[in-house]
Chain A
Amino acid sequence: MTDDIFYATITELNAKLRAGEFSAVELTKAFAERLNTFAPRFNALALPLTTDALKSAKAVDGDLKRERFRGPLQGIPFGAKDLLSVANQITTWGAKPYALQKFDYTATVLTKLSQSGALLIGKLAMVELAGGGGYRITGASYFGPGKTPWNTDYWSGGSSSGSGSAVAAGLVPFALGSETSGSILTPAAFCGVTGLRPTYGLVSRYGAMALSWTLDKIGPLCRSAEDCGHVLQAIAGGDLKDPGSAGKGFYYSPEYHREWKDLRIGYAPVDFSDWADERARPAFNAALEVFRGMGVTLVESKLPDFPYGAMTGTIIAAEGASIFEPLVASGQVDQLADPKQAAGFRAALQIPAKDYLRAMRVRTLAQQEFRKLYADLDAILAPSRFGPAPNISDPLDARGPEPPPDRAPGMTALIPAGNLMGMPALSLPCGFAAGLPVAVQLCGMPFSENLLLSLGKEFQTRTDWHRKRPTLAT
């Protein structure tokens, strides 16, 4: 198999499988070998699952031979963030205290993908406990710092680190990640892949580690917006085992979108002129022009004025500390790689109920204002992250120079705001800065995934940033 196969989209791979160009077993073997060979270079692999995948691939080949076609994911290998349980396999949550943890059940999303014929070839590394407690170093993981395949001196982003780097390096055609506040969009941006954070409640979290009951979401990292649509269709749907489930399904229908000229997309010029890293501004501005060229109406806009960082900080800390209270009580929390996280959990156990409830009530007010904002908009466009990945030796809590006090905040708080509102977002690679990928995000109202994916697909027919490949020297 040529390298082209490792960077093909789900649709392309599935067409070749159906045409008999190779079997699911051959494809699985090729990807598994590549994953096991290259993933250690990026600290991306938590647990290979080659044997089970090959068994399932054999069954898929039987179905394909009998022309029992189950959809675009049939026969496609994939990886999953190691916060998702696979029955009787180790699930570490990226953290030493859970290095030998096993569950006797499988996460709903993995069961659904298996029913679609997709083949899980490995669990992928992550930031320990998805960053709970607040991490300050890229090495906050049982597996070491995640590295972007574009330059291994630089971070892959977190907390879905392995999911981002494995897709970018062509080690899996797609991967599942999770986001509480930025954990899909950030590695998608830093690794140069397409990432979709679904609406809160659209995808079941049963069998996934909880960090924040009211913020956690599971979503795909893929080669394209279209691939994200196929994966979302397979994993979305109501689940009685997830108390946060919205009870809704998702049918990917990119062909049914409104005319571009009828769409209004909000953006803040200050994001592109001032907040963005200087090196990334040409890429961000070019992306803005691509959307303008599609004929959508770009509308100057701004987020409602709320302390989004304080809200997410309080909610994640309070909910996470409650979830991991037994870890703190046992003292095993001190085995975490980043001592800041252990301290963060301990301190968060002292957050008063009134502070948590105030954050949740301010969240209600912010939701009301967002509904007003979106009455006039279909989506918001902003940089996914405002610059390329930091060096793996850089502290993540380092503050840059203070911005001028009169500078408008733009959409700099869109990641925490979008997560607090339960809104979906799609990160699209849009170029490079200092040799590292950068991306823009589209953020829409809850359950507007088809709109975001249609816009993303059109963006990707007009650009080829999602087709770029890092060089993996053998």
Chain B
Amino acid sequence: MKLTRRTVLASALPALAAAQTPPTPAAPPDYLAISAAQYKRNADALAKVAVPMDTEPAFHFKP
């Protein structure tokens, strides 16, 4: 096959275009999802503790 300047350029274009495309920046961490997942893990851990029905929330700290 005869190689012309046009065919060489056409075959190289995709590679050139790819080389000029800036790398996709890494997505920033989804801190909202990370935080929500942490709160869910906390709730799951607390759910494992058996709490008698007559237990009131703690508000006072006595010696």
Interface positions of A (Cβ within 8 A of B): 133-134, 199-201, 214, 246, 306-307, 309-311, 313-314, 317, 339-340, 342-344, 346-348, 350-352, 355, 357-365, 367, 420-423, 445-448
Contacts and interface: CB of A to CB of B under 8 A. Distances in A.
B19 interface: no
B61 A422 contact: yes
A365 B43 contact: no
Given A306-B49, A339-B31, A446-B62, A361 B56 contact: yes
Given A352-B43, A360-B57, 7 more contacts: A134-B38, A199-B61, A306-B49, A342-B31, A343-B35, A347-B39, A355-B46
Interface string B19-63: 000000000100110111011011101111101000111110111
A412 to B, nearest CB: 15
A110 B63 CA distance: 27
A364 B55 contact: yes
21 contacts: A201-B61, A214-B58, A306-B49, A309-B42, A309-B45, A314-B46, A317-B42, A339-B28, A340-B31, A343-B31, A346-B35, A350-B36, A355-B42, A358-B49, A358-B51, A361-B56, A361-B57, A363-B57, A363-B58, A364-B56, A367-B61
Interface residues of B, number: 25
Main secondary structure of the interface of A (DSSP, over half): helix
A200 to B, nearest CB: 5
Contact of A445 (B35, B38, B42, B63): B63
Q: When A and B form their complex, which 8 residue pairs have the shortest distance between CB atoms, in order from nearest?
A: A422-B61, A360-B57, A343-B31, A347-B35, A310-B45, A310-B42, A363-B58, A307-B45
Contacts of A348: 35, 39
Contacts of B48: 307
Given A360-B57, A363-B57, A313 B35 contact: no
B55 to A, nearest CB: 5
Contacts, number: 102
Nearest to A312: B42
Interface of B: 28, 31-32, 34-36, 38-39, 41-43, 45-49, 51, 55-59, 61-63
B39 A314 contact: yes
A240 B36 CA distance: 37
A347 B39 CA distance: 8
A418 to B, nearest CB: 11
Residue among A310, A342, A343 with max Cβ neighbours from chain B (10 Å): A310
B63 A214 contact: no
A340 B43 contact: no
A357 B47 CA distance: 11
A361 B56 CA distance: 6
A343 B32 contact: yes
Contact of B46 (A214, A311, A422): A311
A350 B17 CA distance: 45
Nearest to B47: A358
A133 B41 CA distance: 16
Nearest to A354: B43
A313 B39 contact: yes
A346 B49 contact: no
Nearest to A350: B36
Given A343-B32, A446-B62, A361 B55 contact: yes
Contacts of B32: 343, 346-347
B35 A344 contact: yes
Residue among B48, B55, B63 with max Cβ neighbours from chain A (10 Å): B63
Contacts of A351: 39, 43
Contacts of B38: 134, 313
Nearest to B57: A360
A235 to B, nearest CB: 18
Residue among B35, B43, B45 with max Cβ neighbours from chain A (10 Å): B35
Given A340-B31, A362-B51, A314 B42 contact: yes
